[in-house]
Amino acid sequence: MAQERLTKGSLRRERFSTSVRRLRGFWALYKQSHIAMFGLFLVLAFIAVALAAPWVAPYDPRALVGKPFERPGEDHILGTDQVGRDIYSQLIWGSRISLMVGLFASVFSVAIGTAIGLVSGYLRGPIDTVLMRITDLFITLPSIPLMLILAAIIGRSVWNIILVIAVTGWTGTARMVRAQTLSIKERPYVEAARSVGARDSQIMFRHILPNIIPLIFANAIVGIVNAILAESGLSFLGLGDPTKPSWGLILRHANEVGAMATGRLWFIIPPGVCIMLIAIGFAFSSYSLDQIMNPRLRERRG
Amino acid sequence: MGCFDMGFKEYVGKRTLHGVVTIFLAVTLNFILFRIMPGDPTRAVSGDPRVDTATRLALIAKFGLDRPLFEQYFIYLYNLLRGELGISFVQIGRPVIDIILGRKMVNTIILMGSSMFIAFILGIVAGVFAAWRRGTKIDIFFIVFSLATYSMPVFWFGMLLLLFFSYYINIFPIAGTITPGVVHANFFEYAKDYLHHLMAPMITLGVSFFGGYFLFMRDTILDVFTEDYMLTARAKGLSNRNILFKHAMRNALLPMVSLMGVHITFLISGATMTETVFSWDGLGRLIYDSVRNNDYPVLQGIFLLMAVLVVVASILADVVNAFLDPRIKEAVD
């Protein structure tokens, strides 16, 4: 027994130090890229703003604290909206909605996709066929119209938005995980595990899944970009939570009151820039991860 | 994977079968979405104040709304096969099929087609160029530019263009498909007016799709560069230009074609946003209006039409691809 515990312990230590070494090597590559570091900086900056919102925002984002359409000035750095709410405060609080929807929707959709891809690729047979036809269906359905319809049916709230985005966004992950599972399943060590009597669930979670985790992670980050953009779009089209300040909602108001034709720049530019910067933060990070993890794309000159 | 004997015809057959199954699933999902989900729109609508009693009774009879769900499903399928999609609740009495298969569909196809074409061509050219000049300033500029446009909400870019064109320089009209109230002398006048209105939404959609095509093309070209035949081409002493256009680009175009098939769904989503911002009289705008007015029959109709369109487009893309590259049909599983 003691012997066994010893080997198990040393094995665990061995595994741990391997992953630490891998992460270090990874970080070394990541650090070299300006694009990667800029992306990471943007992401961290927005997370900081979102966390500090109650202390950073000068006003309650929902309170009428000024006259309608005030230009940017001393009292209101970015002016006020059509009913006199402070736009700067709305922007700061809006970062919470964006990050929350982005993170949760992406985590949920990646979880759904991973489960379906793993089961489908590992079990094959009729289950695989059924799951893949369902995946085909969801790939086929145009996402924004489907989201609009779902959101219209289930009602307007932040969690419904997250649900709608997750339900429509898992297909890419499912296909990727399935393809990976198919190839990893054939590797000798999986064969070995099976021959010593490992259960299916054990093989799936202990032998196959850990190998796909880096790819799933990269997928999740792309998912965040898509979810953030989808949230802004749904809010812009009027399907977001009308009581929560979100960037898409500000733009909806700007569009409704015709801020473009009257040249009210402060109403239009800042919310869009915020959406763009946070999405760029995640997009740059994911692009760099992809370049590092896909060795074929790594620097090489022929 | 053991299907070396599978011919081109069988591949097309299999792909078509998958497509039919997908459409059937889409039809079923459509039924479920609109009848079983909380709120049950169809039934709610038969109590909709906008619909008068006679029409309501006719609707209930036609769609069997007083029957069990199971029967309703078959009645729904039967009606669908006859092209019967119900009537709009907003424009009372107008059949859904007339609303969606008309001018609006043409407008959407023109907007989507033109912007996709422009993004595709520019994406390919820039992608090849950037891959060739890998690691240079131009390459990095294009990467950053395309990631930035990808990260930009389509509707916001549309709003910026509106701001620019309506407030600063008045060169493009800001809304609609033609100037309202103008009687066009002849077809060319009409086309000119139409194209003039098309410019801003087309630029919006085109820019939003450029990034995806560019990055994909660049990565594919870089992949092709590592293939053995590229080395062979170089060893043969072919000029750079020859290698780039005759070998690299031709081989990289294949994956681009199948990407286009998948991309149609994204294009529809983008078109919904763009059409809403620019009041472009197309299907995307119609979706938005229908959601706002709870016009469920119209929504159901558009949804189905789009699913069919996408399935057909992706089958076409796959088949064209398989025709060009025989390796693909072998790897179908």
Q: Convert the pLDDT of each residue in A36-58 to its tens digit.
A: 899 999 999 999 999 988 888 88
The conformational region for residue B11 under phi > 0 = left, psi -120 to 50 = alpha, else beta, is alpha
User: Percent of chain B, pLDDT > 70?
Assistant: 86
First to last CA, chain A: 56
- CA nearest to A249 within chain B: B156
User: What average pLDDT does range B218-245 have in this prediction?
Assistant: 79
User: What average pLDDT does range B192-214 have in this prediction?
Assistant: 87
Tell me the C-alpha distance between B250 and B244, whole Å. Answer: 9
Q: Convert the pLDDT of each residue in A162-201 to its tens digit.
A: 998 998 889 989 999 999 898 888 888 888 888 888 888 8
Tell me the C-alpha distance between A19 and A22, whole Å. Answer: 5
User: What average pLDDT does range A269-297 have in this prediction?
Assistant: 84
B163/A280 Cβ within 8 A: no
Collapse the DSSP code of B74 into the 3-class scheme (helix H, G, I; strand E, B; otherwise coil) and give the result.
helix
Collapse the DSSP code of A29 into the 3-class scheme (helix H, G, I; strand E, B; otherwise coil) and give the result.
helix
Which amino acid, residue B118? I
- CA nearest to A38 within chain B: B144
- CA nearest to B290 within chain A: A149
Nearest residue, CB atoms, A136 vs list B22, B39, B159: B22
User: Percent of chain B, pLDDT > 90?
Assistant: 6
At residue B12 the predicted structure's pLDDT band, cuts being 50, 70 and 90, is confident
Q: ipTM of the assembly?
A: 0.84
A265/B299 Cβ within 8 A: no
Residues of B in contact with A126 (CB under 8 A): none
B262/A232 Cβ within 8 A: no
A265-274, B121-130, B207-216, B231-240: range with lowest mean pLDDT: B231-240
CB count in 10 Å sphere of residue B301: 25
Collect all residues with Cβ–Cβ distance below 8 Å to B132 and sequence separation of at least 6. B221, B240, B244
Give the distance from residue B52's alpha carbon to the nearest chain A alpha carbon, in angstroms: 23
Asked if residue B238 has pLDDT above 80, the reply is no
B26/A137 Cβ within 8 A: yes
Collapse the DSSP code of B95 into the 3-class scheme (helix H, G, I; strand E, B; otherwise coil) and give the result.
strand
A300/B291 Cβ within 8 A: no
A145/B306 Cβ within 8 A: yes
Q: State pTM to two decimals.
A: 0.84
Res B38: pLDDT: 47
Tell me the C-alpha distance between B84 and A158, whole Å. Answer: 36
Residues of B in contact with A262 (CB under 8 A): 167
At residue B4 the predicted structure's pLDDT band, cuts being 50, 70 and 90, is very low
For residues A259 and A176, the model is more confident at: A176
Residues of A in contact with B219 (CB under 8 A): 297
H-state helical runs in chain A: 2-32, 34-51, 53-56, 87-123, 125-140, 143-154, 158-168, 171-185, 188-195, 200-202, 209-236, 247-256, 265-293
B277/A276 Cβ within 8 A: no
Closest of A269, A283, A177 to residue A228, by C-alpha = A283
User: What average pLDDT does range B295-303 have in this prediction?
Assistant: 81
Tell me the C-alpha distance between A147 and A161, whole Å. Answer: 8
Do the Cβ atoms of B321 and B328 come closer than 8 Å? Answer: yes
For residues A235 and B189, the model is more confident at: A235
Res B310: pLDDT: 82
B154-163 vs A209-236: helix axis angle to the nearest 10?
Answer: 40
| Beta bridge partners of residue B87, listed in sequence order | B95
Nearest residue, CB atoms, B310 vs list A142, A283, A287: A142
Which amino acid, residue B93? G
Res B32: pLDDT: 81
- CA nearest to B261 within chain A: A140
A24-33, A114-123, B196-205: range with lowest mean pLDDT: A24-33
Q: Is B294 on the interface with A (CB under 8 A)?
A: yes
Res A102: pLDDT: 93
- DSSP structure class, residue A70: P
At residue B328 the predicted structure's pLDDT band, cuts being 50, 70 and 90, is low
State in words which class domain A18-301 has.
Answer: mainly alpha
Q: Is B2 on the interface with A (CB under 8 A)?
A: no
Q: Convert the pLDDT of each residue in B31-58 to its tens digit.
A: 887 775 544 445 555 556 666 777 777 7
Q: How many residues does chain A have?
A: 302
Q: Is B279 on the interface with A (CB under 8 A)?
A: no
For residues B76 and B46, the model is more confident at: B76
Which amino acid, residue A113? G
Give the distance from residue B152's alpha carbon to the nearest chain A alpha carbon, in angstroms: 5
Asked if residue A210 has pLDDT above 70, the reply is yes
Closest of B290, B254, B288 to residue B271, by C-alpha = B288
Please state, in angstroms and as integers, the Cα–Cα distance from residue B183 to each residue in B77, B157, B190, B282, following that order: 43, 31, 9, 21
Structure tokens at A268: 């239009």
Tell me the C-alpha distance between B253 and B256, whole Å. Answer: 5
What does the mean pLDDT of chain B come to? Answer: 79
First to last CA, chain B: 7
User: What average pLDDT does range B198-226 have in this prediction?
Assistant: 87
Res B239: pLDDT: 77
- CA nearest to B215 within chain A: A287
- CA nearest to B313 within chain A: A140
At residue A98 the predicted structure's pLDDT band, cuts being 50, 70 and 90, is very high
User: What is the residue extent of each domain of chain A?
Assistant: 18-301
Res B2: pLDDT: 40
